[in-house]
Amino acid sequence: MSLPSHLTAPPSGDITVWTKPSCVQCTAVKRRLTEAGVPFTERDLTAEEHESDLEYFRKLGYRSAPITAHGAVAVPGFVPAEIDRIIAAWRAEKDAEVGA
């Protein structure tokens, strides 16, 4: 899935995790990223400034948080294998930057 530019990762190339308060799956995603040593930006889907993000994800059929994104890839929910793929993609990107 290709994300619109206003939803893509911050310029630093970090992973973005859209969350909601008291979300167990959100906590699991954040813990997995933290344990992997991967930086991420958290955005609260219930915050007014992210209202358009919430509407966009609803139009895609996403009905729950978290939504984890890196580049143009977004993964709804806590699916360990998918989160690990995002982590691997982030690491490959960082390795390429170091080798450049």
Which has more confidence, 31 or 10?
A: 31
Provide the mean pLDDT of the chain: 87
Judge whether residue 14 has pLDDT over 90. no
Give dist(CA 24, CA 1) in Å, integer: 25
Going from the C-alpha of 38 to that of each of 14, 20, 28, 63, 97, the distances in angstroms are 8, 20, 14, 26, 15
Q: Where are the domains of the chain?
A: 15-99
Q: What is the pLDDT of residue 28?
A: 98
Q: What is the pLDDT of residue 72?
A: 82
Q: Coil, strand or helix: which one is 15?
A: strand
Residue pLDDT, tens place only, 27-69? 999 999 999 999 999 999 999 998 888 898 999 899 889 999 9
Q: What CATH class is the domain 15-99?
A: alpha beta
CB atoms within 10 A of CB 69: 24
